[in-house]
Structure 1
């Protein structure tokens, strides 16, 4: 499937929502019986970030949908920006269907950039769910007074940002802020984006971004009490691959809009092309659930059907909107297409980002 076809598929999924799931087979009847079992849903991040909220949202619903109604327990395995947990999962082989793994864009980016710490191969795993998401950058109230839709008056301010690492999903905001001419100094080494939010709350950082689920639960209260003000979203993709406003936050401008309004920021050229390529790999294709290598078709079909059943629930849209936001949730062929989209970027974008990482942060990937 071409990149354009993938983009169209994901865009179509966003428009029709979870109605696709109604055509999926029920989880029963695929032969895998998990009665009395405990399924470990392993997340390679801390319990404070968006991946934790995503996994904790799905875990009880998946328990209800799987044959035998096993207990689904979320297990956190943070370290090295998720590569530690992903390397662990690579060593697992399928046994009885009681281990599944959840990834994020921060797992995909080191893979895309040939980070030497990566010892995992997405091609060995079996995707059973793919979730799109968005992200929101925000400022403290005093600095937000200087933001009026462009970043011109934010240039010259020394910003501090709590970061998991420049080769993780954080490269999307870091590159965006640099394109806007802002001076943002990352403090590397936090275990999850939730830890970055806590730095912001404590006044140790004066700029932050969160994926949609964490923003909804952790930052909206800060906005409501006047401690934080949204700056921009990364946007969403329409069916033609254009960046449009995020459907979960339609009143917040996108980075593309802010860039177009900011002197010196261009929405064309090498930097923009690289930013957009990694945005697409990291957000419309943001989170995925996998079975380990060696999983038989029976297990893949069982889990895919269970997630289909979750998505087909009459109350799913209501439940997910308040927790995850309004984004496509995909199984089957759409999940496979999303995996392809999230683990491939043009060589030109890789080269640009690799050179940028070396020049800006002294990060060499060889």
Structure 2
């Protein structure tokens, strides 16, 4: 018994010493250093908001308290930043990148000019961001009237292959409606302005932006919410976002309108749409290390875990996520791997659809 007790004490001492050594090693590694967060889009967007959040809170929790700064690298619909990060970023943990939906889409379908594959980026954490499709309440008083009125509506959104417009055009494929015109030329800010001015009649927007400026109009009946992307839940399936829990997913909207589940080719396209939504929305704002920097995760995980338990960080992140779950560490890697394991049919279909229907140039 004494021998077993001695072994147990020795193991506990070893674990404690290892933890202390690990803490000291992590602190020594980042002490006096600066971490640069590469942001592939301009100030004011979702990637910028997430990057600023990390710049504020990560130094408080990462051992060694490194300085964190942002570096905006714009151009080529995120290709300038993503290609540089893949090919040239230091692999010592001093440079990380905030991804985005279009960063992921470009990688998945290999649009012209892509030199990277996001599946090679070690993921530190991932911020899910859902989207909602809504219409002018004066022209579409209720969702049940949408199909009768859609041909008179003008959609406005981002250029292809930005994710909000892919979401809208895929929904058209599934639901089988037509609109008077689809304008693919707005950014998030100008698209919202165009909607509010009556220049366009419907659009797709991130839920955080919707909650801030559009939801009050919906409560007055001036805007009609139609459908949402959903977010991958603990069940592994798309679930409604809690902030807009009264708004159906595309599958639910289909069943509400037609009284049955889709079949045949429609079901196939819907499955692809749901796979796309699961991946792009769940990993909408991932935080990456460059390829080959996997060992650096050991220096970051403890700080990220500490940050996640910080009530101030939780409150600040909630304004962006609105109830969605942040994935970190092993859970982030597992969710990404699980979703990508079911991509065999979806990626070739999306490549062909974007190229043939919308002229998106694809690498051969």
TM-score (norm 1): 0.80
Counterparts of residues 67-82 of structure 1 (less than 5 Å): 67-82=63-78
Corresponding position of 1:279:
277
SS of equivalent residue, structure 1 residue 262: helix
Q: Does the 8 Å CA contact 2:137/2:224 hold for their aligned counterparts?
A: yes
Q: Which has the higher contact order (CA 8 A, sep 6+)?
A: 1
C-alpha change, 1:261 and 1:80, in structure 2 (3 Å) is: farther
- Identify the match of residue 159 of structure 1 among 154, 173, 181: 154
CA radius of gyration, larger in:
2
CA distance in 2, matches of 1:39, 1:303: 11
How is 1:245-324 mapped onto 2 (pairs within 5 angstroms)?
245-263=240-258, 267-268=262-263, 269-295=267-293, 297=295, 299-324=296-321
| Higher deviation after alignment, 120-129 or 196-205 | 196-205
Q: Helix, strand or coil: the match of 1:142?
A: coil
Mapping of residues 1-366 of structure 1, within 5 Å: 28-29=23-24, 30-94=26-90, 96-145=92-141, 147-149=142-144, 151-166=146-161, 168=163, 170-184=165-179, 185-190=181-186, 192-220=187-215, 223=218, 228-263=223-258, 267-268=262-263, 269-295=267-293, 297=295, 299-341=296-338, 343=340, 345-365=342-362, 366=364
Q: Residues 237 and 243 of structure 1 are in contact (CA less than 8 Å); yes or no, is this contact kept in structure 2? A: yes
The unaligned stretches of length 5 or more in structure 2 are 1-18
What per-residue deviation string (whole Å, max 9, x for no partner) do you get for residues 215-248 of structure 1? 3344345546765442221123344444332223
How large is the RMSD of aligned CA atoms in angstroms? Answer: 3.0
Distance in 1, Cα, partners of 2:323 & 2:40: 24
Q: Give the Cα–Cα distance (whole angstroms) in 2 for the partners of residues 265 and 155 of structure 1.
A: 21
Q: How far is the alpha carbon of 1:309 from its aligned partner? A: 0.9
- Once the two structures are TM-superposed, the CA of residue 86 in structure 1 deviates from its matched residue by 0.8
1:124–1:293 contact (8 Å) kept in structure 2: yes
> Aligned pair in 2 of structure 1 residues 275, 214: CA closer, same or farther (>3 Å)?
same
CA apart distance, 1:76? 2.8
Q: In structure 2, how many angstroms separate the alpha carbons of the residues matched to 1:46 and 1:222? A: 27
Q: Which consecutive segments of 4 or more residues in structure 1 shift more than 6 A?
A: none
TM-aligned CA deviation for residue 197 of structure 1: 2.5
- Larger relative helix fraction: 2
User: 2:70 is paired with a residue of what secondary structure?
Assistant: strand
